[in-house]
Amino acid sequence: MNRLKSRIVSLYTGQAQRSVRFRYALIVFDLATVAYFIAVTPFPMTPLIKAINVLLAIVILADFLCRLWIAPNRWAHLGRVYVIADVIVLGSLLFDPFIAINLTFLRILRGLRLGHSNYLLQDLRSGSQFFREHEDALVAALNLVVFVFVTTSGVFELFADANRGMAGYIDSLYYTVTTLTTTGYGDLTPQTPPAKLFAILIMVVGVSLFLRLAGAIFTPNKVHAPCPTCGLTRHDIDAVHCKHCGGMVKIETKGAG
């Protein structure tokens, strides 16, 4: 068991080429699953979709258990945003056959892993200068996109006429975006108290995420480079000294490794 655990630790945290390729494969898997969950939302459940969901649940559960097994502090690990999202996704996949409500919209929360997993962020920071220089904006954009599609799918499943298929889903997306941006053309409006409360949630959370994205885009870019003295993690791209304590910081550039 110790040998197996050490191999899993190496795959999830190691710097060997095999480990990096494994983690990038997980990135591709996460992107593919999120795209799949978005794509199947407007369509009725079929035996093929159920079979694919079972296979995805097995892979996601195996990944979840491996990460939990190697976590230095398992309770702290379970409190992370993307881990909570994984628990919700697994619950929606495993219990979907036993409840009347379609929980497909909750599965899109798996996209949060792409912006909150420490292992993933470390790989992207070391492998992509573009990501290092625009990390805040990219993560903020990802959070907004995940929120938009989770909300769209939630509106579609809970308040729209699900029998309308793709047309109903597009209406739900249109309603979500117009509500989030507070445009409010008035052609689609909430009619029941739960729908109105959901619209308030869209506006409050959505506007906050939108403003965070705008702030990340229009403020000077910062890179993730922890100061060895005080621990400040964000610095200007061309910084040599930490603005907080004055200590030397090492920021990777095209000319420095």
Question: Do 27 and 107 share a domain, yes or no?
Answer: yes
Question: Do 26 and 117 share a domain, yes or no?
Answer: yes
Cα 11 from chain centre: 21
> For residue 97, what pLDDT is reported?
63
Which of 129, 162, 197 delimits the end of a domain?
129
The rounded radius of gyration (Å) of the Cα atoms in the chain is 21
Q: 134 φ, ψ to 5°?
A: -130, 25
Look up the domain containing 170 and give its range: 134-219
> For residue 65, what pLDDT is reported?
92
> For residue 115, what pLDDT is reported?
62
Q: What is the pLDDT of residues 17-49, one digit of tens each?
A: 888 888 888 888 888 988 888 888 888 778 898
Q: What is the CATH number of the domain that holds 162?
A: 1.10.287.70
Q: How far apart are CA 60 and CA 54, in angstroms?
A: 10
> For residue 117, what pLDDT is reported?
66
Tokens representing 160 are 């729209």
DSSP helix/strand/coil, 189: coil
Q: What is the pLDDT of residues 189-239, one digit of tens each?
A: 888 888 888 888 888 888 888 888 888 777 766 676 777 777 677 666 667
Domain count, the chain: 3
For the beta carbon of residue 7, count every other beta carbon within 10 angstroms.
11
Question: Do 125 and 170 share a domain, yes or no?
Answer: no
Question: Do 106 and 3 share a domain, yes or no?
Answer: yes
Which of 77, 106, 129 delimits the end of a domain?
129
Question: Do 184 and 211 share a domain, yes or no?
Answer: yes
| More confident call, 187 vs 252 | 187
72-93 per-residue burial string, b: 16 or more CB within 10 A, e: under 16: eeeeeeeebebbebbebbbebb
Q: What is the pLDDT of residues 61-99, one digit of tens each?
A: 998 999 899 888 889 888 888 888 888 888 888 777 666
Mean pLDDT of the chain: 80
For the beta carbon of residue 126, count every other beta carbon within 10 angstroms.
14
- 62-76, 119-133, 160-174: segment of lowest average pLDDT: 119-133
pLDDT at position 171 over 70? yes
How far the first Cα of the chain sits from its last, in Å, is 36
> For residue 102, what pLDDT is reported?
62
Which of 108, 129, 150 delimits the end of a domain?
129
Average confidence (pLDDT) over 168-177: 88
Question: Do 152 and 234 share a domain, yes or no?
Answer: no
Residue 23 near residue 123 (C-beta atoms within 8 A): yes
Amino acid (1-letter code) at residue 107: R
